[in-house]
Structure 1
Amino acid sequence: MLVLLALAIGAIALLAAAKADAVWFKIVPLGILFTGAFLIRSLGWFGKKAGD
């Protein structure tokens, strides 16, 4: 999850450098966090097996 957070913060920095509109500052970071978390969870990386 920290990797996704770092990617979202990097995206904010790139958007600021590109002088993007304010709406992109909500859409892009949230999209990275939600889509990334969904994909990582569906791949089973957050799943902890019993006994581990």
Structure 2
Amino acid sequence: MVSRTRVVLGMLVLAALAFGSVALLAAMKADATWFTMAPLGILSGGAVTAHSLGWFNKKAGD
């Protein structure tokens, strides 16, 4: 079972990291491709990693 609260909080953290990467890329005057690849990579890679580590699963007593 998936905990909705943990998923929302986890994705908010990942979204903040993605927006931070966009700001960093803008400061570095990066190529337009990086503005697509980096945030999507952070969001999808972070979500897959968090799910595989079991961070989004409910505990037995919840």
TM-score (norm 2): 0.78
Verify: 1:34 aligned to 2:39, yes or no.
no
Q: Deviations 1:7-44 (Å, cap 9, x if unpaired)? A: 00000000000000100000000000000000000000
Greater RCO structure (CA 8 Å; 6+ sep): 2
Q: Which runs of 4+ in 1 moved over 6 A?
A: none
**Aligned residue in 2 for 1:10:** 20
Q: Does 1:48 align with 2:58?
A: yes
Structure 2, gaps ≥5 residues long:
1-10
Partner AA of 1:8 in structure 2? A
Q: Give the number of aligned pairs.
A: 52
Percent identity for Structure 1 against Structure 2: 69
